[in-house]
A and B are shown apart, each in its own frame.
Chain A
Amino acid sequence: MSNNQRLVYIALLASQAVIIGLVERMIPSPFFFAPGAKLGLANIITCMALYTLPVKDTMKVVVIRLLLQTLLAGTVSTFLYSAMGALLSFIGMLGVKQLPKVSMIGVSATGAVLHNVGQLIVASLVANTFSVMLYLPVLSLIGILTGIATGIAAHYLLHHVERLHYYMDLKTLDIEDMKEVRL
């Protein structure tokens, strides 16, 4: 992948994630009994970036998405929540992806749960009480379900959009090239 191609691809993914996030905010939350729970559709994009881009570039996608979403529809405190959530879920997804035989469903569910963990950590720091963390089971059970759904969606996207196929192949090629160079 040439440098320009990569830049455009990163920008496209980031902007898609921002738009999906904004559209998702307009959908009334189906989880009326659990304030704070949401679908997390933008996780699809993070998954795809994780599977088609090197780690460094995936991080760029995540950071750009975070900053743009805060600028467009957020405040400093939502930035804190989302930043902690995004950081934790990114690290978790990266780690889980290395495990053998884990499909995108597992990766995206991990991302969803760790996003909630990160948000609640910030919330309990802000509210200065650990008891906020007790809300985790509610959020993360919903998160696991939506994570499975977004994982399936990401899986189908990745395997049915030809262009993404091409990028995925490129990534594996890049890795093999790098191994050869090292040898």
Chain B
Amino acid sequence: MKRFLELATWSDMLLLFVLIGISFLPFVIFYAQQSATGERYVVITEDRQVLHDIRLADISEQRQIPIESEDGQYNVVEVSADGVVMSDANCHDQICVRSGKILAPGETIVCLPHKVIIEITAEDNADNVDVDIISSFISVKGLYYE
């Protein structure tokens, strides 16, 4: 083993790292592209029930969505084209109101006392992308397996 390692020079090591970097380049390009063009949705859930599922591109003007439950709890979600913010709530810790504006996919505002969650999601083609890659590759490659 030592003899094998002696064959490799430092520039070899450097080269190998560059090659590993190159091989992850498609991921970088793909996800940069997807976050730039992917459709985003605002999903508002209360106690795991989806109340609203709004496409961010459909929102043209600022709009307030009140969420009220029977026992007097209320949250007001303010939705506009440049972000979603919890503008008012009567929960005791006010963490949701202080979380500020969210816009990027994956960001969330959580109001734990009222079990209200606001989430920005990207179009969920990212979930089954793994299957797609491999199956498309097999379908292309498998027919004419080299």
Contacts and interface: CB of A to CB of B under 8 A. Distances in A.
Contact of B133 (A105, A106, A113, A134): A134
Given A35-B137, A35-B138, A127-B140, A102 B15 contact: yes
Nearest to B6: A103
A166 interface: no
A137 B24 contact: yes
A40 to B, nearest CB: 11
Interface stretch (A46-54, A56-64, A73-81, A170-178): A73-81
> What is the interface of chain A mostly: helix, strand, loop, or mixed?
helix
A35 B139 CA distance: 11
Interface in B28-83: 29-30
Contacts of A135: 133-134, 137
Given A126-B140, A132-B140, A144-B20, A110 B134 contact: no
A96 interface: yes
B26 A134 contact: yes
A129 B132 CA distance: 10
A86 B132 CA distance: 26
A35 B134 contact: yes
A152 B143 CA distance: 33
Contacts of B140: 123, 126-127, 132
Of the listed residues A77, A81, A101, A105, the one surrounded by the most CB atoms of chain B closer than 10 A to its CB is A105
Contacts of A150: none
> What is the interface of chain B mostly: helix, strand, loop, or mixed?
helix
A135 B132 CA distance: 10
Of the listed residues B9, B29, B138, B141, the one surrounded by the most CB atoms of chain A closer than 10 A to its CB is B141
A146 interface: no
Contacts of B141: 35-36, 81, 123
Interface residues of A, number: 43
Interface string A104-143: 1110011001001100000100110111111111011100
A126 B136 CA distance: 10
B128 to A, nearest CB: 11
A145 B42 CA distance: 44
Contact of B15 (A82, A109, A137): A109
Interface string A5-45: 00000000000000000000000000000011010000000
Interface string B105-146: 000000000000000000000000100111011111111111
B23 A113 contact: yes
B23 A105 contact: no
Contacts of B15: 96, 99, 102, 106, 109-110
A109 B16 contact: yes
B17 to A, nearest CB: 10
Given A96-B15, A105-B7, A141 B146 contact: no
Interface of B: 4, 7-12, 15-16, 19-20, 22-27, 29-30, 129, 132-134, 136-146
Which 5 A/B pairs are nearest by Cβ-Cβ distance? A140-B23, A133-B26, A106-B12, A106-B15, A101-B11
